[in-house]
Amino acid sequence: MDKVLIIDFGGQYIQLIARCIREQNIYCEIYPWNASIDKIKQFSPSAIVLSGGPHSIYKEDAPKVTEGIFSLNVPVLGICYGMQYIANHFNGVVKTAPSREYGKQTLFVNNSPLFNGIPAQNICWMSHTDYIEVLPKNFEVAAYTDTCPVAAMQNEEQKIYGVQFHPEVNHCDYGKKVISNFLFNICKLIPDWKMSDFINDTVAKIKAKCGNGKVLCALSGGVDSAVAAALVFRAVGDNLICVYVDHGFMRKNETAEIIRVFREERGFNLIAVDAKERFVSKLKGITDPEQKRKIIGEEFIRTFEEEAKKIGKVDFLVQGTIYPDVVESGGKTGVTIKTHHNVGGLPSVVDFKEIIEPLRDLLKDEVRTVGKQLGLPDSIVMRQPFPGPGLSIRIIGEVTEEKLNILRDADFVFRDEIEKAGLSEKIWQYFVVMTNSLSVGVMGDYRTYNYTLALRAVTSVDGMTADWARIPLDVLEKISNAIVNKVDRVNRIVYDITSKPPATIEWE
């Protein structure tokens, strides 16, 4: 079987590269940048991809992969930092760019096998500060932008290629075609791997790990934990016990809906725990978002530990952690963007033999694919993403009961109006943020000094990159009027029109 090795330099989009490759039925694995040449040779890759990363190649502490990869006689593709690494390795010059590029840029391509079948002018997705000032010997420019003279380069004789943009992200118009050209036109690989292999392999590993032990699953009601539960259920059957913890930060009417869907409709062995007072009291006076996440992460674990003791001996805890959680929490070789409660927010000591995270290396769209193959209904598989800490990280500053009630009501109105407008299936995620800003308004000829709420709506596939949703202005007007008229203590609505990057989807 042909295999691709991805070298991880700590890039935020590393798993998107893997997804693009897997989608084309090619098996791949991710190794850290400091993997030994012996380990790489043992993997026996048919091709190598060098990922992006947050570092500058000309700095002393810049990560550098073993030089032996260029002696393996397999094609190499460098992406962003990966291309800069190639340029530096072959004595090119990399410097800080006079003009940084973030988000969508117009790409102009030259004649190159990397761009076969791609228009000479197209849209790519950039996220870089450094650039290649001088090409290494025997390399030529394969593409450029108005501000980046080397947006792609190639050495066709050695089959070494590099792109400064990110072909792996969804908002790069022909990115998948670029990767496809590399895999099939340049590397001549044979597509013979499929997602069902992941399910079979994962179920077998869980069976081997858990044996006849009891397994506790942290079920939030979202797609990630539901798919994780279904996957583990296939491996351990009735030994799986699901626990849903209502931490007091759920959306309006959501707890009742979760209990109905999973216990009554799906027949899960579900224990529902009312822990609202416990969690809300722990956040009293807390304003830092990282501290919120860590507190919630620890309280989740302690609650599960207590429930496990009531059940009896439980060795394993299942979580629906997915790859964006790991990446943004600084997992593997990346830098921390935000600590997800179920990753970096976990306490150092937990009273379980092991935590099982069967979806840890998958993206949201891959999780949905697994869910469908496991037979879960669309009502669960296509559910809108909702963070584990819930509304607590959609309230900027201290979390109070008053703010929670305001946000629940406003969020309910927003979602209702989006559904009425027929946009619910066209927008990947949409929600309200309580900004903690007060502003002057006038209502009924009286001065008000109330909260400003922000609307956030994005289009995406996997959550790793996202663009702000173009909600029609007349719909935004209806939403704004409905919230201000129906929700107390609100007199101003703003709309967030920032993509990811540079922003993240959630505000905290």
Q: Which of 80, 124, 148, 187 is catalytic?
A: 80
Told to judge if 28 belongs to the known catalytic residues of this protein, a careful annotator would answer no
Within 8 A by CB and 6+ apart from 195, the residues are 22, 366, 369, 370, 373
Within 8 A by CB and 6+ apart from 172, the residues are 123, 124, 125, 165, 166, 178
The DSSP line for 356-399 is E-TTTT--HHHHHHHHHHTT--HHHHTPPP--TTGGGGSBSS--
**Residue whose C-alpha is closest to residue 73's, from 91, 36, 47, 112:** 47
The DSSP line for 209-260 is HHTT--EEEE--SSHHHHHHHHHHHHHHGGGEEEEEEE-S-PPTTHHHHHHI
Strand ordering across the sheet containing 354-356? 270-274, 240-246, 215-218, 316-318, 354-356
Q: Which of 89, 166, 171, 341 is catalytic?
A: 166
In 125-147, which positions are buried (b, 16+ CB within 10 angstroms) versus exposed (e)? bbbbebbbeebbeebebbbbbee
The DSSP line for 4-30 is EEEEE-S-TTHHHHHHHHHHTT-EEEE
Told to judge if 168 belongs to the known catalytic residues of this protein, a careful annotator would answer yes
Q: Which of 20, 124, 168, 254 is catalytic?
A: 168
Instruction: Report the C-alpha gap between 15 and 21 in whole angstroms.
Output: 10
Tokens standing for 485? 């008229």
Contact 455, 493 (CB under 8 A): yes
Helix %, strand %, coil % of the chain (to 5):
35, 25, 40
What residues are annotated to the active site? 80, 166, 168
